[in-house]
Structure 1
Amino acid sequence: MTTLCLREYAHIRRTAIPSSAFTWLETLASQRKKGEAEFLRHYGQSLQVRNFVGVLETPCGTVIEILPKIADTDNPEADRALLLKMLNVVYKLKPRESTEASLATRQGSLLEILITRFLQEVSRIVHCGIRSDYVRIKEEAAFIKGRLRIAQQIRQPISRQHYFQIEYDKFLPDRAENRLIKAALRVVSKSSQQMENQRLARELLFVFDAIPCATQINRDFSRWSAQRDMVHYRPVKPWVELILMRETPWFLQGKWQGISLLFPMEKLFESYLEILLRRQLLPTYELIPQSTLHSLVQHNDKALFQLKPDMCIRQGRDTKLVLDAKWKRLENGTDKYGLSQADFYQLFAYGQKYLSGVGEMLLIYPKTSQFETMLAPFHFDDKLTVWAVPFCLERDELLCPDDMLPRFFLSTLTLTKDDNRE
């Protein structure tokens, strides 16, 4: 099996992976439809990955791991740890101390780390006990058991009237939660290349052998029980959702069902910030993501060109602060710092509609060695200001103007250990 580790916007060369894998990726890149997310872009003898991170498995078994491009050094372990931390927060994947300690000493790809965590959660469920439920059984039998199905019995042909159409309840582990876990186990058992993960997956599949595999994923997720006796199943649910339900780029919706956990980095960064800011917000304020309160223009009594800032901080009906998150490397000291003119046009519209032309807005970028402190303010006029501020992903700290923090937030914007494990 070939494993390729790269970062956002890196090129996959034809000689770097098996020809079958490269041909498959080329086909995917050429089949993208209008309006669909672009994951790959063709450049002659290479393919450039776009702003997606995660893991992609090809039909021939090649695993491509894509890590965030933010660090200035070539340190895949640090990038992998950063991505895992963000996934833990955004998708509520609760790591356990023993798991984190064991993974810290183990070299492995992101795929194997995620599989290990999932298998450990399933093992804990098995240790606590697989829950069963009453299942309605309908069958034809030579004796009456349970309840006779009168309508079906009347329609019995004469030659089979010595048999009874019956139904009864039987206490079985065939319930939605177990069916979904088995479906996820089947997926990871085919994708893992580590001997320990393969062994544990086989053992767990043997435990779940008598349970059918989920075929109607959405229906079974809607039946996932929140009752008290199912509390030990709760930690595994996000993992099962991640494996079976997570939205992936357009081309992964076809016949190939290998593990493909790909996340748009822009959306992941935005969601991570939203969760962090919401936790630290003063109780008198409210954080609104993707507000749709205003549009750019009115035409024939209809609102056109909706304005949707990433986040707004509101107090009652009044918007106090507009925030826009950008997953992009700024370079302090260069011409215009790498800022986008289109972003400022957009912010100007936000300021006029959401702040009535008076107030402050934040453009939030990840902190790098080239962008360690906030830039001098950008003034549209003497009443409307934009601050371009860095967010330190190592310390989970927003480096914004000192007078802005106590106005809106409880303390410095630090994600504590307990916050990470909610």
Structure 2
Amino acid sequence: MVELVTCLVRILLASSGEGAHRIERTVHRAAEAFGCRTSLVLVPDGAVVTVTGGPGRVTTVTVRAVPEVFRLDQVVALKPLIADVCGGRLPVAQARERLRGIEEQAAPYRWWWKLTGIVLFALGFAPLMQPTWYEIGSTAVLAVPAAALAVAADRSPRLAPLLPLVAATTVSVVTLEVFARDGAHGGPVLLMLPALFFFVPGDYLSAAAAELGAGLMTTGAIRLVYAVFLLVQLYVGVLLGVAVTGSSTRRLFDVAAVSDLPRWALFCGWIVFTVGTVLAFAIPLRLLPVLLLLVYVTVGVQSLVTKAAGETTGTFTAAVVLAAVTTILDRRPSMPARLVLLLPGFFTLTVGSLGMRGLTTLAGGHVIAGFTDLLKLVTIVTAIALGLMVGATLTARGNDLVRDGA
């Protein structure tokens, strides 16, 4: 039983890049199905787990795992297993074997599909930065080395800790030398951001805010510090690119070019974005239609409410709707865990790019614009976190946390 709980906690921690607040309840209910009790002390990258299986049978173990969201195929596979365990349909030995299989299963897509997915992910996001053909064209080039570095980090763990720094430096150098010579195409940072969006810790920032709001002070504070550290890595990488190219930081202005994209291109961009998300984060392809629908619902709600009541209200409302719809869908056994349903729509709210823009704009000497972006970052992070909490609370039932499985 201890091995089962340890393996379960390790998988849940490894897929907790969107927050660790569901782990404890899931583990408790799974252990109760086998007549045991558990207690956990959680931090984002570890847990101390105590398993009580009867009088005098108490075991304490420490579990470590790096939190991320890059293998969502494991989250998809975990949900039906948790349902079978909590429903009393699996013996301990069989549940343990299935858990081991999930933990050890190969990624559903080969490395070149992940590389393609990251490029598509960036291309779909590009019009949100600047709705221009030049933005899309430059992103198609810049995203390739960024994606190649991400794939290389999967094969070389020593690269992973410095991946945001290396990717930002590479993209910064190419942008400044090739694509940002003419200010008519917009600010250099706006040209860089789509290619770096895969590395921007917007999900960690919002997860940290949600955990703090839920009273999980330790996990929330640690995750917030980690998110800021990743953001600063990207910022320093951009500055290194400026230094390597001999450019002035005054070039890091934040002015968008005039839009020249037709509406159909903006509409189709979200299809490209969602396909890229599926491939980049190892989501089973069969889930593409429902994820695409959720993306369009989120974008539609955000756009309509923003026009009527402003960006903060629009973002908050979109987060409420997204959380409510995904919580309801998660109750269906045929649907994946809520995390998987939530992620593509969440990315459309684009919180992390504001921090990157704010820091680089400040470095360029544009103080007012930089602080405006950073203030907007704090506001939007809070709006998204509160919106997700409100949406989940309004639609949650007592056993929803068990069904989530992540």
Q: TM-score w.r.t. structure 1 length?
A: 0.21
Give 1 or 2 for the bigger CA radius of gyration.
Answer: 1
TM-score (normalised: structure 2):
0.22
Determine which structure has greater relative contact order: mean sequence separation of CA pairs < 8 Å that are 6+ residues apart, divided by chain length. Answer: 2
Higher strand proportion, which one?
A: 1
